[in-house]
Structure 1
Amino acid sequence: MKTVILTGQDLTLEEFALVCREDVPVALSEQAKQNIIESRKVVDQILDENRVVYGVTTGFGKFSDVVISNDECKLLQKNLIITHAVGAGNPFPRAAARGMLLLRINNMAKGFSGIRMEVVDVLVDMLNKGVTPQIPEKGSLGASGDLAPLSHMVLPMIGLGKAEYKGEILDGAEAMNRAGINVIELSAKEGLALINGTQAMTSTGALTVYDALELLKVADVAAALSFEAHNGVIDALDERIHVIRPHKGQLDTARILKQLLVGSKNTTRQGEIRVQDAYSLRCVPQIHGASKDAINFIKQKVEIEINSVTDNPIILKDTMEGISGGNFHGQPMALPFDFLGIAVAELANVSERRIERLVNPALSGLPAFLTKDGGVNSGFMIVQYSAAALVSENKVLAHPASVDSIPSSANQEDHVSMGTIAARKARDILSNARRVLAMELMCACQAIDMRGDKGMGAGTKPAYETVRALVSKLEEDRPLYEDINLCESTIIDGSLIANVEKGASAIEL
């Protein structure tokens, strides 16, 4: 298994996902180690000279004017962690918690945090040996960093809190002991260096962006199957239409749909059956394309953030200073993650409309609810209900978190980002959208069977075969949630897209 080398400069979204989900190990580059060592020397000099530097020789937030003696520095850092660990709700998923460890290490690798090398080594060991802190999802304002979540991340490092190790939830000290990792005592600046940053929101959001990029491919495949099921008019995909409005996502979507439908005898040309399709088919390049452009923009922002320093104060080696700033503020991620939720919600919105067209006999020309013995059988009637419920929930979740701000720390922190809420909402929207697309896949395959397949396209045929290998045609009513689960599993494990790309090598999704 290849090791991901962390430099603080060039971690990619793909590497991030591998470490979080596949447990790929990490190691610091030699330059990163040197950066960390040199940065710590600045903190030691600040202490030796009794200089007043925020979070090193002062309290935090409203207590920034309270000077702390050298003798009290260790207690200050410990108290920071234990008092800030006040999260609420269910734990973050394991992958997101691992992402926080990873991003914190990569942040420190740049050498602006003033933390000792042995503390960073503990984080690396936790990641590589599989000690995953239990971190409650709620409780971050996303302003002075993700203070509450990251404090829970630190608790096992100092022998407190809870952590998962080899599938078992243990006291933090016990998890560290079983993994053979020594707990530590934090020194000056180190508690603050561990929790002042955007790693909770960025980890959650980055994993959602990674999944959203894959879901875009699924959305195109589902739409192409709906084209087959509706005898869709492919003139709307003509490149000449799209080059005169050359948004990249729109151009890419039109190209991909044409490639997926190459060779199809189910699609039609303008005027053969009807002059034009409804927007949910005709405007797929414009609708999916807009989401593609948005999500790719957000990916760029995420890859900046995962290689950024979000500490406060910033330790500058060349001038031996500690400068207090605002790099911990989550606004640069809060707005993109709100945008992410909106972009993904739209994939589900238009998919649900395509489902409605498939099950509604007035719109499809097929038997009502895609069942041949309607009345006794309900067919796919309630599938559309469930899809409608999910997209409605997404519309509530898509309300931007970043427009809200509640001052904290006695108004010292008088504007906050709510970026962690934005990231969590985007994640939940994606989960709902994935389910809706699974429903469309299933409905479209049923409709193709009922209308009669004259010959499918280069990309739609392997997609259809992937679904049918798991879910048989509905002849009479059966529990459909299990079928939807199976369709969704082909999205989650990547087999749907892999089979489409394998079956039609010329397609670049």
Structure 2
Amino acid sequence: MSQKTPSFAYGADRLTVGKALGIARGTLPGQLTEPVLERVRANREAVARIVAKGEPVYGINTGFGPLCTTRISADQTSLLQVNILKSHSVGVGDPIRGEIARLMLILKLHALSMGHSGVAETTLKRILWHIENEVTPVVPSQGSVGASGDLAPLAHLFLPLIGLGRVTYQGEVRDTAEVLGKFGMDPLELGPKEGLALINGTQFIAAHGVSVVEKMQQCLSQADIIGAMMLEGLQGSLRPFHEELHKLRPYPGTRHVAHRVRNLLKGSEILEDHIDCERVQDPYSLRCIPQVHGASRTAWLHLKELLETELNSVTDNPVVIDEELSISGGNFHGQPLAMALDYACLAASEIGNISDRRIYLALEGNQTDLPKLLMKDTGLNSGYMMLQYTSAALASENKSLCFPASADSIPTSMGQEDHVSMGSISGRKALQVLENVEKIQAVELLTAAQAFEYRKPLKSGWFLEKVHGLVRTRVSFAEADRVFATDIEAGLELIRSGALIRLLDTVSRKKALSLKTDYDELFETY
């Protein structure tokens, strides 16, 4: 009997970061089940009855924001929903990545499918069609203040439903009308509340959060690997990673990192060779790897946990419980994610900051028997000097990006929306910082591999020997100056691709070795 292909039921199953990415990348199919559609139809009928009663309900038969006291006649409620998509499409800046736009569609479809937003079944099915056919709306990156939800980006995201805006299809940006015509499809006619339900919510912030969780987790895992390799290259001590030490200050993140580094260095001849050396203490950038990397893991975990709540929440407004209870509240406010993303942004920056310090340490060549600037014939050659300039510039840029966007609020909507989260900026900044961290890690990977080479013929443990071998398939040992930008690009490809992590998984299986810790469920899954 063939196994049934797993799928995700919008509005019914619990969404995680991994599942959202799976749907966005086409590895996990999503579906609208009949029980969910029944619930959506019932909620839609409740909205129809509210309209028929004529009682004022925000966004259904009133204007928006400061116009909430302006009544809209029953025959104009559909036009009101079309106008809100048009008027709120005021985004500027470069478009967001296609994957983030697809994530926005996925997250919004899941939230609407919970049956408290008053949207029609046809609207849900059209959003699903966009996801399944990779007809991805073009969404500008700037213009959201993170409450009332991500209004501008969500308006751009759903302009295609009414035949407007632009979409990316088959690798090209095209007018929506052209693509709909190709499929023989007409724009939708939106009913009462639908436009407001589409644009009110936190899906721009949350979609960025999904990308941050994935990218940051990869950077954290690689930080431990590269840090362990640098520890070998600089002949650092393993004592600061001792299990008994971390039992006395038992933060899960710290213990997880210390355990991983101990396993990465298991069986190292390099460690054994200098176990009785006279150096009493290593600099903090080596000695405090568990504490610094571990603290950043704690910030990542906090974001992941909050984000999973957000992914499975109804975040538009008003929320229609039933015909008798429609609540105009604040579930659209981005503050819960904004603050967590700012925390994650700082935590990511610190991973790059300590990495730059280790790079600098490797170039000193004083206490570690390494040649200065990691090259023997310096003077004529500058060696690895300038690579640290690059990491220093990136680390400094990240520090300037760490000001918390959520600390600011500018009133909008004529004072009706007088406190906003700026969470969209928090998400965009966090991704920018992580992209810089990846570049810093590429520089540290090359620097650690160069230092590692000077420990030959001694060998490290299985894991790090394989990592060093992989680096050497892309970047050779540098005996003289060359265009190091090419090396950095090759290192960056290794970092971005996650090749180091996949390699260690392969080594674990082949050699029956394990990097697993008691905290893998917390820190290695999403």
User: What is the TM-score of this pair, normalised by structure 1?
Assistant: 0.97
Q: What's the CA shift for 1:485? A: 1.6
Is residue 278 of structure 1 aligned with residue 278 of structure 2? Answer: no
2:205 counterpart residue number: 201
Q: Which of 305, 310, 316 is the matching residue for 2:310?
A: 305
Of the structure 1 ranges 135-144 and 1-10, higher mean CA displacement relative to structure 2 is found in 1-10
Q: Please state whether the residue corresponding to 2:436 is helix, strand or coil.
A: helix
2:472 counterpart residue number: 468
Q: What's the CA shift for 1:458? A: 2.6
Q: Which of 33, 36, 48 is the matching residue for 1:44?
A: 48
* Contact 1:25-1:127 within 8 A present in 2 as well: no
Q: What's the CA shift for 1:457? A: 1.4
Q: What's the CA shift for 1:25? A: 3.2
Is residue 83 of structure 1 aligned with residue 83 of structure 2? Answer: no
Task: Write the letter of the residue equivalent to 1:441.
Answer: L
2:271 counterpart residue number: 267
2:248 counterpart residue number: 244
Task: Write the letter of the residue equivalent to 2:286.
Answer: L
Write the distance in 2 (CA, Å) between the matches of 1:344 and 1:208.
Answer: 10
Is residue 228 of structure 1 aligned with residue 236 of structure 2? Answer: no
1:455 counterpart residue number: 459
1:12 counterpart residue number: 16
Write the distance in 2 (CA, Å) between the matches of 1:138 and 1:407.
Answer: 17
Write the distance in 1 (CA, Å) between the matches of 2:413 and 2:427.
Answer: 23
Q: Please state whether the residue corresponding to 1:402 is helix, strand or coil.
A: helix
Task: Write the letter of the residue equivalent to 1:62.
Answer: P
Q: What's the CA shift for 1:7? A: 2.6
Of the structure 1 ranges 338-347 and 269-278, higher mean CA displacement relative to structure 2 is found in 269-278
Q: What's the CA shift for 1:482? A: 1.9
Q: What's the CA shift for 1:450? A: 2.5
Note the 1:45-84 alignment, pairs <5 A. 45-84=49-88
Task: Write the letter of the residue equivalent to 2:194.
Answer: E
Note the 1:209-220 alignment, pairs <5 A. 209-220=213-224
Q: How many residues align?
A: 508
1:414 counterpart residue number: 418
Write the distance in 2 (CA, Å) between the matches of 1:52 and 1:244.
Answer: 61
CA 265–179 in structure 1, closer or farther in 2 if over 3 Å, else same = farther
Q: Please state whether the residue corresponding to 1:164 is helix, strand or coil.
A: strand
The superposition leaves residues 220-272 of structure 1 with CA deviations (integer Å, 9 ceiling, x where unpaired) of 00100001101110011110000110000000000000000001111256652
Task: Write the letter of the residue equivalent to 1:300.
Answer: E
Write the distance in 1 (CA, Å) between the matches of 2:339 and 2:400.
Answer: 17
The superposition leaves residues 77-126 of structure 1 with CA deviations (integer Å, 9 ceiling, x where unpaired) of 11101110000100000110001100100001111100000001100000
Write the distance in 1 (CA, Å) between the matches of 2:394 and 2:278.
Answer: 33
Q: What's the CA shift for 1:350? A: 0.5
Write the distance in 2 (CA, Å) between the matches of 1:449 and 1:17.
Answer: 38
Is residue 145 of structure 1 aligned with residue 149 of structure 2? Answer: yes
Q: What's the CA shift for 1:301? A: 0.4
The superposition leaves residues 455-503 of structure 1 with CA deviations (integer Å, 9 ceiling, x where unpaired) of 1113211211111111111122221222212222122222211111211
Task: Write the letter of the residue equivalent to 1:248.
Answer: P
CA 500–191 in structure 1, closer or farther in 2 if over 3 Å, else same = same
Unaligned runs of 5+ in 1: none
Write the distance in 1 (CA, Å) between the matches of 2:383 and 2:218.
Answer: 29
Q: What's the CA shift for 1:181? A: 4.4
Of the structure 1 ranges 49-58 and 353-362, higher mean CA displacement relative to structure 2 is found in 353-362
Of the structure 1 ranges 272-281 and 162-171, higher mean CA displacement relative to structure 2 is found in 272-281
Q: Please state whether the residue corresponding to 2:312 is helix, strand or coil.
A: coil
Unaligned runs of 5+ in 2: 517-523
Note the 1:367-406 alignment, pairs <5 A. 367-406=371-410
The superposition leaves residues 259-293 of structure 1 with CA deviations (integer Å, 9 ceiling, x where unpaired) of 00001111256652411111101110000001111
* Contact 2:11-2:112 within 8 A present in 1 as well: no
Task: Write the letter of the residue equivalent to 1:507.
Answer: L
Q: What's the CA shift for 1:308? A: 0.5
Q: Which of 296, 299, 305 is the matching residue for 2:301?
A: 296
Of the structure 1 ranges 489-498 and 304-313, higher mean CA displacement relative to structure 2 is found in 489-498
Is residue 427 of structure 1 aligned with residue 431 of structure 2? Answer: yes
* Contact 1:142-1:419 within 8 A present in 2 as well: yes
Of the structure 1 ranges 203-212 and 283-292, higher mean CA displacement relative to structure 2 is found in 203-212
Q: What's the CA shift for 1:203? A: 0.1
Q: What's the CA shift for 1:362? A: 3.4
1:506 counterpart residue number: 514
* Contact 2:270-2:455 within 8 A present in 1 as well: no
The superposition leaves residues 174-217 of structure 1 with CA deviations (integer Å, 9 ceiling, x where unpaired) of 12333554321211100001010000011011111111112111
* Contact 1:23-1:128 within 8 A present in 2 as well: no
Over the aligned positions, Cα root-mean-square deviation in angstroms equals: 1.5
1:440 counterpart residue number: 444
Write the distance in 1 (CA, Å) between the matches of 2:35 and 2:263.
Answer: 46
Identity, in percent, stands at 40
Task: Write the letter of the residue equivalent to 1:339.
Answer: Y
* Contact 2:235-2:368 within 8 A present in 1 as well: no
Write the distance in 2 (CA, Å) between the matches of 1:475 and 1:91.
Answer: 43
Q: What's the CA shift for 1:2? A: 4.9
Task: Write the letter of the residue equivalent to 1:176.
Answer: L
Q: Please state whether the residue corresponding to 2:435 is helix, strand or coil.
A: helix
Task: Write the letter of the residue equivalent to 2:514.
Answer: A
* Contact 1:205-1:424 within 8 A present in 2 as well: no
